[in-house]
Structure 1
Amino acid sequence: MAGYIASKHAVAGLTKSAVLEAAENGIRVNAVAPAAIDTQMLTTIQQNTSPDDPGAAAEALKQGIPAGRFGMPKEVAQVVIFLASDKASFVNGSLYNVDGGMQAD
């Protein structure tokens, strides 16, 4: 888990550094940090956490999400589409948490 957490922090730092190098060339750099998204990875984590009752692990995780549910892959994709669009032409160097409010806690 330490490597996973370190990689999340590395993405944030790399995003900030890349902006300083790329912005003058009109290149925007942003990052998206999804949290509990309903994917196979999340299912595997739940099964490994509580092999006898993965549903209990899921419910425990949902307790820490103010939205009260897991995100869907499409919700992450919509953020990426926005950031890649002209609508985000002045958005640069930002890290977007797609996490149902987990970072607000």
Structure 2
Amino acid sequence: MATESRRSVIVTGAGGGMGAAAVRQLVKRNVNVLAVDLRPQSVELLKSELADAPAEVLPVAGDAADAETVQAFVALAITHFGRLDGVFNIAGVGTGEFRPLAEVQNATYDEVMRVNAKSVWLGMKYALPHLVAGGGGTIVNTGSHLAWHAAPTFSAYCASKHAVIGMTKAVALEYGRDNVRANIVCPSAMETAMGQEAAEGIDPEDPRAGWQVMIDQSANGRVARPEETAAVGVWLLLDAPQHVSGVVFPVDGAQSAK
């Protein structure tokens, strides 16, 4: 069992590009991480990779949008680490179907909302009592450039990420006096599997052209590296002043400045 004096954080979507980057950065800062992903091999490999890090990776295979699963892994974090100091909700899926809204299946909307919005709701709902009981803590949720903008054929995804901003700001207001901060980190396109999916959706015949569309939206002429977005989330978890709460942090190469 890990020492109770070391900070402990839950990261969902920990096996993906941004999630894995966040786990690496946290354990190298001496923070224990309960790393959750649907794919057990991804987090087991991460544990092996970071075996010599100063803190522990506890891999958990599970669905971050399932209430019983979330309750169980939050309880496990408390039992195993002896404390919970923060949650970094990263688990998410892409738009599912690149079509105008009237052509998108209802099931697609339901699944995108379930994974992208409900997982954040559940992650906060079941972590908050422990954060409050421990004297406070930090929540970082993952939005998107499309969490307060929009794009054609991304209606379900936009809806899910707009929801993340709304519920995060509500929690920041509700739990501020309990010493709990809640913020949203919002990337644009990243060098990840989801980025590849978006490139293929933009131009199925030539995904490289789809990537170029996303590159051209950024003032610095490239898409983000997942490590960059993860670093902003880790800063919000560990280093941001107590007065920083309820804030949307774009990591989008000045795309939001247009």
- Report if TM-score (shorter chain) is over 0.5: yes
* 1:41 maps onto 2:41 in alignment: no
Aligned to 2:213: 60
1:16 CA drift (Å): 1.4
Q: Which has the higher helix share?
A: 1
One of 8, 14, 23 as aligned partner of 2:176: 23
Aligned to 1:79: 232
RMSD: 1.3
Preserved contact between residue 250 and residue 256 of structure 2 (Cα < 8 Å) = yes
Preserved contact between residue 199 and residue 211 of structure 2 (Cα < 8 Å) = yes
Aligned to 1:9: 162
Q: Which has the higher strand share?
A: 2
Where does the alignment leave 5 or more consecutive residues of structure 1 unmatched? Answer: none
CA distance in 2, matches of 1:86, 1:57: 36
CA distance in 1, matches of 2:257, 2:211: 20
The higher-RCO structure (CA 8 Å, 6+ apart) is: 1
Structure 1 window deviating more from structure 2 (54-63 vs 34-43): it is: 54-63
Q: Which has the larger radius of gyration?
A: 2
CA distance in 1, matches of 2:242, 2:249: 15
CA distance in 2, matches of 1:78, 1:45: 23
SS in 2 for 1:103: helix
1:22 CA drift (Å): 0.5
Preserved contact between residue 201 and residue 210 of structure 2 (Cα < 8 Å) = no
Q: What is the one-letter code of the residue matched to 2:230?
A: A
Equivalences, count: 105
1:59 CA drift (Å): 1.1
Percentage identity across paired residues of the two chains: 35
**Superimposed CA distance per residue, residues 7-28 of structure 1 (whole angstroms, 9 cap, x where no aligned partner):** 1211111121111111010000
Preserved contact between residue 8 and residue 33 of structure 1 (Cα < 8 Å) = no
